Chains A and B, each alone.
Chain A
Amino acid sequence: MSFEHILFSIDNGVATLSLNRPGQLNSFNTQMHLEVREALKQVRASDEARVLLLTGEGRGFCAGQDLSDRNVAPGSAMPDLGESIEKYYNPMIRTLRDLPMPVICAVNGVAAGAGANIPLACDLTLAARSASFIQAFCKIGLVPDSGGTWSLPRLVGMAKAKALALLGERISAEQAEQLGLIYRVVEDNELRDEALKLARHLATQPTYGLALIKRALNASMHNSFDEQLELERDLQRLAGRSEDYREGVSAFMNKTTPQFKGK
């Protein structure tokens, strides 16, 4: 499959997926969904990819659903918006969350609607200083999707989550960082380099272990304390059998730099 609406590459352990419909602020249409799905499938199947970097081309990150696909003419049948969620958005969000590697999101510009919630499903989200986040759903009578109603209260607390979702106000990258919605704000002209630097760094790290950390933290959102302790035991059991753990300990003992393989 050749890609038209995204840019995709895997290089030195870093898979980069960039949404590429800059004229439409990278909003999703069906074709872009299919391409993202295919790219994520390749990342999952790849032996080389150890980190995924998700970003957008042009001045926007992602404006959510392309509403020109969705214009409801008076008198026409009501659309089933649940269908595209079931078919495209939910599987994409699940994949980002479950991908056994760190997923970095570099929000290069406006992130609205589903586009504001995709970064929340990633593991480390950076945003350009000029980027902004808008839970735009409430303005057109819809509900935040792509995991928004789940992520928001967990990241910023219920009071702020409700304000964000019910008012749909634009918040700046800086506010997003202060609220705990994202990891860090970066100067506009440094975003790409910073995100790549982070990705390249992680790609040399014990990524199998990092994936287990991600799994544990994700599970903590719904586990009881006891369940989480048991999960930690099981994941540590797995981590302890990894080649990277052996390498890490032996490098520490021998005072050398460990060469991790992500296994």
Chain B
Amino acid sequence: MPQMLKVTPTEHGVRLITLHRPEAMNALNTQLLGELAAELAAVEQDPGTRVVVLTGSRKAFAAGADINEMAERDLVGILNDPRVSHWQAISSFSKPLIAAVNGFALGGGCELVMHADIVIAGEDARFGQPEINLGIMPGAGGTQRLLRAVGKSLAMQMVLSGIAIDARHAQRAGLVSEVTQPELTIERAIELARLIAQKAPLAVRLAKEALLKAQDTDLASGLRFERHAFTVLAGTQDREEGICAFQEKRRANFTGQ
């Protein structure tokens, strides 16, 4: 049983995972990160769960890493940091991951947001990489994913100055896809998740993989991958069902086969 997560049983193909470490504004210590990685690994094996929504509290999605824990690690400790494998497990999650962000998403919290495929933010959400203020720097993708999400100038400004941006700014920059009323953030994320959960799971999975490929490969390879993925789907029953349903003007019933 995770202690720092609240997990809602899957409903309509969607599982809601809530970071729950209220005493520390959901600071991502190793235990919390490990629990999240384990939970996503469990979802990976559960065919009934097609999409995951990840959220925090009204005040903080996650306000950084656990500084006390970090202070205890020396060079060797950091070389052998178990967090690296937790982050890898989160980034290799193959189903859609939607972050519903209210309040602070700072440091590791912002990096966790960027591990999500889609980000819905409450109007008062704030995103930042304040590591520089502590004489360190982002260590879980903050310099890489942020630059890809918002472009060089804003990424540099955020990482080098440590100043956070608000939800509207984050949306304009491309870090966030939708801004909503803070009270409705989770609801909107779940609504979107349910919509995605109704699609053909294999198509969703391959489409996600193809989109992620676009970030770390050249266009020609990306297009090749896309074409292969597209071709693979030709062998699925869901493709047949989807096209049939469209022609017969009815709702498709996807099975994941």
A interface residue numbers (CB < 8 A to B): 231, 234-235, 237-238
Contact = CB atoms under 8 A, between A and B. Distances in A.
Interface residues of B, number: 4
Contacts, number: 9
A75 B183 CA distance: 54
Interface in B158-180: 180
Contacts of A238: 181, 183-184
A231 B184 CA distance: 11
A234 B180 CA distance: 8
Nearest to A219: B123
Interface string B184-221: 10000000000000000000000000000000000000
Contacts of B180: 234
A235 B181 CA distance: 8
B59 to A, nearest CB: 12
A235 B180 CA distance: 10
Nearest to A235: B181
A237 B181 CA distance: 10
Contacts of B184: 234, 237-238
Contacts of A235: 181
Nearest to A241: B183
Contacts of B183: 238
Contacts of A234: 180-181, 184
- Give 7 closest A-B pairs by Cβ, nearest first: A234-B181, A238-B183, A234-B184, A234-B180, A238-B181, A235-B181, A237-B184
A31 B11 CA distance: 54
A234 B181 CA distance: 7
A238 B185 CA distance: 12
9 contacts: A231-B181, A234-B180, A234-B181, A234-B184, A235-B181, A237-B184, A238-B181, A238-B183, A238-B184
A194 B205 CA distance: 64
Given A234-B181, A238-B181, A238-B183, 6 more contacts: A231-B181, A234-B180, A234-B184, A235-B181, A237-B184, A238-B184
